């Protein structure tokens, strides 16, 4: 059997068995574990009132919005100020993630959360990752006095 025919046979066997060759990770692309780590770092920064660490999770030209509010915060510097600036926020911040999902191929993630700062909100965010940092963050929230269990009621999963 020729070398070419042998290689073709091996490739066919791999294809039939469902085996695939693992691709090398793309530089700057996050996998699921990398996404979880990035969101964990952001959460820790918010919960510990560390605006610099939180802002560093975003790209230099990141956009952060909360429709239908027309204001879009643009850039890491603007986010640093929004997150509390040099002094931090005057009151504690808390974010609790209920669900996080991430598509490594698209570098798009989403999450469902409860955020507490002066008021409690329950919301969802969709975000885009570029070179391992958050480039776009778009959140939708509703203010509520209910806790998470009351909010989702029977539709819990």
From CA 85, how far away is CA 49, in angstroms rounded? 10
Among 10, 28, 53, 38, CA closest to 97:
38
d(CA 110, CA 124): 7
Domain that holds residue 29: 25-152
Model confidence pLDDT, tens digit, residues 40-69: 999 999 999 999 999 999 999 999 999 999
Q: What is the pLDDT of residue 21?
A: 44
Q: Which CATH number goes with the domain that contains 60?
A: 3.10.450.50
User: What is the CB neighbour count within 10 angstroms for residue 98?
Assistant: 15
Domain count, the chain: 1
Determine, yes or no, domain membership for 98. Answer: yes
Q: Is the peptide bond before 131 cis (omega within 30 degrees of 0)?
A: no
Task: Identify the residue with better confidence: 26 or 121.
Answer: 121
């Amino acid at each position: 059997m020729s070398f070419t025919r042998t290689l073709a046979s091996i490739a066919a066997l791999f294809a039939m068995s469902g085996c695939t060759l693992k691709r090398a990770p793309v530089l700057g692309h996050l996998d699921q574990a990398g996404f979880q780590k990035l969101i964990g770092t952001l959460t820790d920064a918010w919960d510990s009132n560390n605006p610099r660490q939180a802002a560093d999770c975003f790209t230099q030209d990141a956009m952060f919005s909360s429709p239908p509010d027309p204001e879009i915060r643009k850039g890491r510097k603007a986010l640093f100020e929004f997150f509390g600036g040099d002094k931090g926020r005057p009151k504690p911040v808390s974010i609790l993630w209920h669900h996080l999902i991430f598509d490594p191929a698209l570098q798009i993630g989403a999450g469902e959360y409860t955020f507490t700062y002066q008021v409690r909100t329950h919301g969802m965010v969709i975000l885009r990752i570029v070179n391992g940092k958050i480039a776009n963050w778009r959140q939708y929230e509703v203010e509520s006095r209910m806790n998470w269990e009351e909010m989702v009621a029977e539709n819990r999963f």
